[in-house]
Amino acid sequence: MKNLLPTLALLCILLSANAQKQIFLYEGKPAGSENWTWEEANSEENLFNTKVVYNVSRPSITAYVPENPNGTAIVIAPGGAFHTLSIDSEGIDVAKWLNAKGVTAFVLKYRVARSFTDDPLKEIMGKMSNFQTLDEENRAVVPLATQDGMKAVKYIRERATQYKIDPKRIGFMGFSAGGTLTMSVVYSADNASRPNFVAPIYAYENAIIGSNMPKEKTPIFLAVAGDDQLGFMPHSINIYKKWFDAKQPAELHIYEKGGHGFGMRKTNTSSEGWIENFGNWLKMQGYL
């Protein structure tokens, strides 16, 4: 028994070191959602058999810290039509991949529209046929989510020393609605809350808030599938062109197949390589 004690103690230390910490971005209820009474929940029994988080009313970031941080940090915003968050494929799995490269990752849970059932994806699917109506429903929540994104960047930058981060190497990436959020953050932020680089992945352009191109160098990486079922491929082209015309560093990948929402899922298409392309781009930009 005595021989087991040192091993158990070491195991406890390792488990503690690898534990992820959830950090709430505001004290109490944030402005704009003071009257929200619903509680955050998650569901794995849904149309797509993937874990989603919904009814987020207390925005937070969960820190994923690598063993040897290289000074780069990235906020990750999962997608879900501003109603849910695809927390694994477009959040945690990305954070773990980045950790293996030495990047400190923060998975963002931003405020989303209220879901009224325990199968929020089914609710969303009933709304996806009319984006104009969905945009109208989301109109009140997108600015709140944008505030959450900017707050996350500012929080991390203020604690750069604590996390062994270079305050000039903080990025923001997001998927689908999270890509919309990514662009809203970079267009709307002030110097304290603006990311140094961004990566909108199959972003939805029509709901982006703001249009102010950063004056300082702000590289952008975009990825989308040509067979995106929601028709978002041209949106990435439009964003790329705006960045290119502003003489900002820009890289765009359009994969022939992959559909919408490929994230870190296995699709048996070339879109699976997007994360490696992203890693190569990060290295080229000096972030790896």
pLDDT tens, position by position, 54-66: 999 999 999 999 9
Helices 142-158/177-188 angle, 10° precision: 60
Confidence grade of residue 104 (pLDDT, cut at 50, 70, 90): very high
- Among 3-17, 175-189, 203-217, 255-269, the range scoring the smallest mean pLDDT is 3-17
Domain boundaries, the chain: 20-285
Paired residues of 251 in beta bridges: 221
Helix, strand, or coil here: 126?
coil
Q: Sorting pLDDT into bands at 50, 70 and 90, what band is 5?
A: very low
CA 95/CA 67 separation, integer angstroms: 13
11: pLDDT strictly greater than 70: no
76 with 174: CB under 8 angstroms? Answer: yes
For domain 20-285, give the fold: Rossmann fold (3.40.50)
Q: What does each C-alpha distance from 37 to 55, 57, 160 come to in angstroms? A: 10, 8, 33
Question: Taking all residues of the chain, what is their mean pLDDT, rounded to a whole number?
Answer: 92
pTM, two decimal places: 0.92
Q: How far is CA 274 from CA 11, 172, 173, 229, in A?
A: 35, 16, 13, 18
The pLDDT, as a whole number, for residue 44 is 77
Whether the predicted pLDDT of 95 surpasses 90: yes
pLDDT in tens, 20-70: 789 999 999 999 999 999 999 998 766 566 789 999 999 999 999 999 999
The DSSP-derived string for 185-243 is HHHH--TTT--SEEEEES---TT-------SS---EEEEEETT-TT--HHHHHHHHHHH
